[in-house]
Amino acid sequence: MSDKAVITCALNGVLTDPKQHHVPVTPEEMAREARAAFDAGASVMHVHLRQQAPGKGHLPSWEVAVSREIQQAIREACPGVIINHTTGVTGPDYAGALACIRETRPEMAACNAGSLNYLKVKADGTWAWPPHVFDNPPQKIQAYLDAMKDAGSMPEFECFDVGIVRSVAMYRQTGMYDGPLEYNFVMGVASGMPADPDLLPILLKLKLPEANWQVTAIGRAEIWPLHRRCAELGGHLRTGLEDTFYRPDGSKVTSNGQLIETMAAIARQAGREIASPAEARRIFKLAH
């Protein structure tokens, strides 16, 4: 167990609409929100890219120039910060995501480690969005791992279900990946693993023993007991406007900084100190 807890802030996400929520879109907004999270204890910023044209901020972008500009703005605002770059794309065309990794060389990048039926049902019994498969077959995962190796970026293995957790060991066994390991247990997606603290001991049995791990918990007030258990069991911590808009008391936040302040307090209550960016680099064995 690492005594120090690395806190990641997921600044904006892929679906959150800036017209409805206070999610940052422009480089200036990303830098401002990153600074608020950084000051509260986050040393890793997980970034999604949005289209920069007026009124288009709810749509994803894979322009390398946008990625560069956003990363530069965040790095200038947060000295020593670690960038964790999104890569999630549905479908067979993911060249833009690969180009962003290869050309901007972030310290870390998400590597979605398996496929999932991405489903959610509304209270009236209708689908919340058109049901679809978030497809991450092994050949796609290998393409991402190769790009990350070329860039010197460490993959964070995103695991949405128990079988995906088990698959990561197979990627190691078959030689798909041989570097430092970090699992991200994504819990709270309606068709994936539930945000249930009782599931954590099972997941810890299934991960490779030497690997670092963290929890991404998606939801409202029910996610905070899971974060607390994660901190107690030695995991690293993540929150941000991609994952939730609500504090434990149910109040809605207006900034990532408020969520990171809450998370840092939970870590300290569990007896954990907060890792600085330099300490996080050592814990994750980052190449640069």
pLDDT for the residue numbered 15: 79
pLDDT for the residue numbered 19: 87
pLDDT for the residue numbered 17: 86
pLDDT, one tens digit per residue, over 12-58 is 998 788 888 889 999 999 999 999 999 999 999 999 999 999 999 99
Query: How many domains does the chain contain in total?
Result: 1
What is the overall mean pLDDT for the chain?
96
CA dist., res. 145 & res. 177, Å (int): 7
Virtual torsion, Cα 265, 268, 272, 274, nearest 10 deg: 50
* DSSP codes of every residue in 193-244: B-S-GGGHHHHHHHS-TT-EEEEEE-SSGGGHHHHHHHHHTT-EEEESTTT-
Tell me the residue range of the domain where 193 lies.
4-284
pTM assigned to the model:
0.97
pLDDT for the residue numbered 160: 98
Question: What is the helix, strand, coil percentage profile of the chain, to 5?
Answer: 40, 20, 45
pLDDT for the residue numbered 2: 58
Q: For the chain, which residues score pLDDT lower than 50?
A: 1
pLDDT for the residue numbered 21: 86
pLDDT for the residue numbered 287: 78
CATH of the domain at 114: 3.20.20.70
CA dist., res. 117 & res. 108, Å (int): 26
pLDDT for the residue numbered 192: 98
Instruction: Name the token pair of 161.
Output: 């279900």
